[in-house]
Every structure is written in C-alpha cells, then in structure tokens.
Amino acid sequence: MTKFELIATAAMGLEAVVAKEVRDLGYECIVENGRVRFKGDEFAICKSNLWLRTADRVKIVVGEFKAKTFDELFEKTKALPWEKFLPENAEFPVSGKSVKSTLFSVSDCQAIVKKAIVNRLSTYYRRTSWFEENGPLFKIEVSILKDTAMLTIDTSGAGLHKRGYRAEQGEAPIKETLAAALVLLTNWSPDRPFVDPFCGSGTIPIEAALIGQNIAPGFNREFVSEGWNWISDKLWDEARNEAEDLANYDQEIDIIGSDIDHKMVNIAKANAFEAGLGELIQFKQMQVKDFTTTKEFGVIIGNPPYGERLGDKPMVEKMYTEMGQALSPYETWSVYMLTSNERFEECYGKPATKKRKLFNGFIQTNYYQYWGKRPPREIK
Ligand SMILES: C[S@@+](CC[C@H](N)C(=O)[O-])C[C@H]1O[C@@H](n2cnc3c(N)ncnc32)[C@H](O)[C@@H]1O
C-alpha cells in the first residue's frame, strides 16, 4: 500500500469537528483553514469517504510548491509523479483558484497545469498523439495561496453531503454535513430523546439517527475513486463490510422531527424511508409553541427560520419568544438553535450557555447552546 498525503476539506468553522472525526478513524491529523490534513493508504481513502460525516470531500495532495512564475508552475507540476495516479486513458479536467498570489489568472494556471501533466504523461506512456481521456475521472485542482501552489486530486466525486437519501427538499434545507456537525457538537447520545422542532425535510433527525446507530453516511452512494484501477474493488468491499459490521441497527433511538408545515412532514418521512430509517424516526406536524414532553434529559436541535426575508423578522422573533416560553419548563433538556438572527437570545428569553459561530452556506450564524441538567449517571 502507498502512503498518501490526504486532506478532508471542511466548511469554515467545522475544521475541528472534521479533525475529531479523522482522529476517530485512527489517523493523526493537522488542522488548517478549511481543511484537515492526514496521511493514509488506499484503504484510508475508502474509509474516510465512507465515514466522514462533516467533511465536504477527501482529496489527495499530489504536490505543494512555491510558484511565482508560469515557468515555475509548469516545471514543478511536470516534476510530480502523475503516472502513479493517472492511467493512460484518464479523464483529467483541471480547475483552479488563486488567492493573494502573483499568478492570479486562474484560467492560465489551469492551462499550464494541464499542459505540464500532459507533457509528463506523454513521456511516461510514450505518446505522440493526444490523450483520448475516455477513461476514469481524476478531477485535478490547482489552488494557489500566497504564491504556494497545491495540486490535488478529488477522491469523492459528488460532495460528501450527498448521502443519497434526499429525494425531496424544502425551501431552505441544511447541508447534511452541517446537520451532522450540529448533532456532533451537542451532548446527545442515542440513549437520550432527540427532537428537531423545525425538521423541514428531516435532515437533522436523519443525520442523528445515522450517528445514533453508527451507520456510515456514505454507505448508500458511490465515490469517483471507485472507478480507479489502483484501488481494488476488494478494498472497497472490505471497507463497506467493515462499515456494515460496525453499524448498530439494534440501538434503540427516540428521535422526533416536527414542523408547522404538513407538506414538509411528508417530505421528511419520504427522505427517512429513502435513508432506510423510516420506522426509526417519528415525524409529526406541530408548531414549536405546542411542544410538550414527559421525558427527561432530551436534546432539542433546530434550524428555525432566520427572518432574513423582508417583513419576516417580527413574525420570526415572536416565534422565538413563544419557543422560549414553551421550552423553559424542561430544565433537564438541552436546546441548540442555529440562526443568523442577532436578537435570538433576547427573544428566546435568556442568554445562551455557549455560542459558536458557524456558516450555513454563506450566511453567518450562531449556534446557540442552552445546556440542560446532566443525566444522573453523568453527575460525578
Ligand atoms: C430553515 S427550515 C429547516 C430546514 C431543515 N433543517 C431541512 O434540512 O430541511 C425551517 C423550518 O421551520 C418550519 N417552521 C416555521 N415556523 C415554525 C413554527 N412556528 N413551528 C414549527 N416549525 C416552523 C418551516 O416550515 C421550515 O420547514
């Protein structure tokens, strides 16, 4: 097996959550802006794609070097061992980005990288004609930051948020990777009740159920690197079998998703069935102000409307107040809400135990956390 330099890319603010996941898979890692670096072999590529819940993609770093001129970019790209990755018929589109760098023309950088790789492969495969590029896909990226170029190959294909269960969605669905992070950032464990009172298409309850039963999020999808000749089908089978063995389908879980909109409730149910969790999660139509429970030590996670649309704010803020009133009797419950609304705590009626800045797409939000009393066995 070969040792690769790998990166798991992460949305801004989620790097530490991704790093914990990478470590839990057994890989030492380094946290950087927007990514987590780790070293691993072919099996690590299969495993990280199958298991990482909060990362966007897994990429191989082919090389990293200083490049201030196009000549430097060409020669240093050509010096990298591309033939180790790309077979003769590989399809290898090159995309790029450049930030605070001398080489700022992204289209020129892409063209030069492509030319350098073609040059290298032509020598290796003794080609005098064009490469047909009718084989497996290797998406290459040249990313230049402060004159340092990083050349990567994507191993994931569709972003890792595409789990394969979301057949339908509402107006503002949360990305599956962020939904998983919201769950992992709480103190929820599968023996505690879980409620999402703004469930929409059901993403947060579905991610919680996958976490609760230790089901690999990528179990029902394919990855672009499955088409590569140097990662055997046997290895992918091994990683999938391992995931199957680790899944704990017998774990009982108590997860409820509710929403004011009955159409969303039906969509959430359909998505949960698609994820194979249909029987496991209860969905119902309900307004948050009508929340009641006799259970204790539960966790509520929600991505409510933010009131960003013109005219929506007063209505949304009133709803936050009603939510605060409805949830205040439940001292043993912990409440976690993600919103961009700066007046959330004021409307909800009390300051959060902790806040964490997170991005929901391009919207800067706060994850407001109200910690409830700890379950008795946790008290030392
Ligand atoms: C931002 S969306 C949630 C998206 C969801 N996380 C998903 O992935 O699809 C907010 C949801 O809150 C629901 N909602 C709005 N007001 C509500 C209320 N007072 N009580 C309960 N649900 C409400 C909306 O119908 C909408 O589905």
Out of 163, 203, 210, 264, mutate this one to test ligand 1's pocket (max ligand atoms within 8 Å of CB): namely 264
How many whole angstroms from 258 Cα to the centroid of ligand 1? 8
Residue of 198, 267, 318, 360 best suited for mutating to test ligand 1, as the one with most atoms within 8 Å of CB: 198
Cα end-to-end distance, the chain, whole Å: 46
Q: Ligand 1, atom 12: nearest CA belongs to which residue?
A: 198
Ligand 1: residue whose CA is nearest its atom 18: 287
Which residues surround ligand 1 with Cβ inside 6 Å?
169-170, 172-174, 197-198, 200-201, 203-204, 259-261, 264, 287-288, 303-305, 319
Atom nearest to 322 CA in ligand 1: 19
Which of ligand 1's atoms lies nearest the C-alpha of 201? 9
Q: What atom in ligand 1 is closest to the CA of residue 267?
A: 9
β strands within 213-340, DSSP E: 255-259, 281-285, 299-302, 334-339
Q: What is the dihedral of CA 16, 20, 22, 26, to 10 degrees?
A: 150
- Return the residue whose CA atom lies nearest to atom 27 of ligand 1: 200
Nearest CA to ligand 1 atom 25: 261
Write the DSSP assignment of 324-363 as a string of letters.
Answer: HHHHTT-TT-EEEEEE--TTHHHHHTS--SEEEEEEETTE
Nearest to 288 by CA among 161, 198, 208: 198
Atom of ligand 1 nearest to the CA of 302: 6
Reading the block at residue 79, the tokens are 């010096």
pLDDT at 269: 96
> 133 CA to middle of ligand 1, Å?
46
Centre of ligand 1 to C-alpha 260, Å, is 7
User: Tokens 């047909």 — which residue?
Assistant: 132
Ligand 1 centroid, distance to 278 Cα (angstroms):
20
Give the pLDDT of residue 293: 98
Compute the distance between CA of residue 378 and CA of residue 108 in angstroms, rounded to an integer.
58
**58: which strand partners?**
8
Helix (H) or strand (E) holding 305: none
CA 53 vs. chain centroid, Å, equals: 5
Instruction: Give pTM, 2 decimals.
Output: 0.96
C-alpha distances in Å from residue 279, one per residue of 29, 106, 114, 175, 252? 37, 49, 50, 23, 11
Residues 20, 110: Cα–Cα separation, whole Å: 33
User: What is the CA(238)–ligand 1 centre distance, in A?
Assistant: 39
Are the beta carbons of 334 and 323 closer than 8 angstroms? no
CA of 170 to the centre of ligand 1 (A): 9
Atom number in ligand 1 closest to CA 306? 1
Rg (CA), the chain: 23
Gap from CA of 191 to ligand 1 centroid (Å)? 25
For residue 300, how far is its CA from the centre of ligand 1 (angstroms)? 14
Mind listing the pLDDT tens digit of every residue in the chain (380 residues)? 889 999 999 999 999 999 999 999 999 999 999 999 999 999 999 999 999 999 999 999 999 999 999 999 999 999 999 999 999 999 999 999 999 999 999 999 999 999 999 999 999 999 888 889 999 999 999 999 999 999 999 999 999 999 988 887 777 889 999 999 999 999 899 999 999 999 999 999 999 999 999 999 999 999 999 999 999 999 999 999 999 999 999 999 999 999 999 999 999 999 999 999 988 999 999 999 999 999 999 999 999 999 987 679 999 999 999 999 999 999 999 999 999 999 999 999 999 999 999 999 999 999 999 999 988 875 55
Number of the ligand 1 atom closest to the C-alpha atom of 287: 20
